[in-house]
Every structure is written in structure tokens, then in C-alpha cells.
Amino acid sequence: MIVLRGLNRITKVRPMNLFFIELIIVLLFFSLSGTVVLGLFAAADKTALKSSLSERAVMCVQSLSEIYATNGDMKKTTDEYFSGASYFMESDDRCMICLDEELRPLYTEDAREQFGRISIFMEENTEKTAHGTYSELSVQLFLMIDEPDEIYSHTCSAYIPDFSEVQNEKL
């Protein structure tokens, strides 16, 4: 009989051990749930940043287009909108502007690579007519957060009459 009492003690499960096992399982469940929720919050924050940045960048491009419609010159438009800040002119009719999160132009290549979030590519086509100049500006807007993603593109135009030709014809 003495031997049987010893076996009963070994196989007997205490209720306190079950409580700790249950507590460990609950803690594991909550830690996994917390990890998933933090991942969702991080993704939501990134999506909100992209959305806000995209909205402000589109407004910037629309403002550039409105200015272009009044003067018909890409260089004058960028000088007026960015207050004479430097930007990258590929040629007389092409331009690339790199902006940070606050929509400020970035001057150096290092700054563009490190802080550049928005790239605006503009291409101008002009055509002289008998009584003025017809100019067309094609604009492409890229969001550079993860990988270059074109979010907006459009074309605007301006017709700038040449009043000196009209006055010469009247004489």
C-alpha cells in the first residue's frame, strides 16, 4: 500500500498548475493579437501619409497649371510658384522638380535621394502662330515613398497673343 500512495502523489495534477498554463496561453494570444494590431496601425499610418501627400501634391500641380495658363512659359511658372528656387532643367522644354514632404524643392542630388517624396516632370511644347504663341504643358506627378508611382498626369495649355503683330497689321 505504501507504493500506491507514492504513485498517487506523482500523477495528481494540482489546480494551480492548470491556472498557470491557462495564463501562459492567454498571454500568448494577447501578444499575437497585439502584434497584428500594431502591424495594422503601421499600415494605416503609411496609407494616411501617402493619401495626404498625394492630395497636397495634386493641389501643387494644379496651381502650377493655373499659373502656366496665364503666362504660357514653364520657366516663369516654376520661378513664380517656387519663388526662384533652383530645380533641375533637363533642357529648355523639360524640367524635373523634386519636393520633400512639406512641398519644398530639394536642391542637391543627395537631398533628392534622401528626402525626396514627390517628383514633378514637366514638358513644354510651343507653337508659333501668325498672331501669337500656343503653349502646351504636360505634367506627370510621381509619389516616391516606396517605389516610383505615377499618381497624376495632365496637360494644360495657354495661348499668348502677340499684340505687336496685330498693331502692325492695322497700320
Q: In this predicted model, what pLDDT tens digit does every residue of 41-71 receive, in sequence order?
A: 999 999 998 999 999 999 999 999 999 999 8
- The answer, yes or no, to whether residue 89 has pLDDT greater than 80, is no
In a domain, 18, yes or no: no
Asked whether 23 and 115 are in contact (CB, 8 A), the reply is no
Q: How far is Cα 39 from Cα 104, in angstroms, rounded to an integer?
A: 31
In a domain, 111, yes or no: yes
Q: Is the dihedral of CA 122, 123, 128, 134 positive or negative?
A: negative
pTM of the model: 0.71
In a domain, 11, yes or no: no
In a domain, 6, yes or no: no
In a domain, 22, yes or no: no
Give the rounded percent of residues in the chain with a pLDDT score beyond 90: 43
Contacts 24+ apart (CB under 8 A), 75-79: 77/137, 78/122
Residue 123 CA, distance from chain mean position: 20
In a domain, 12, yes or no: no
- The answer, yes or no, to whether residue 84 has pLDDT greater than 70, is no
Q: What is the domain range of residue 61?
A: 30-170
Q: What are the cell numbers at 36?
A: 497584428
pLDDT at res. 122: 92
Total count of domains within the chain: 1
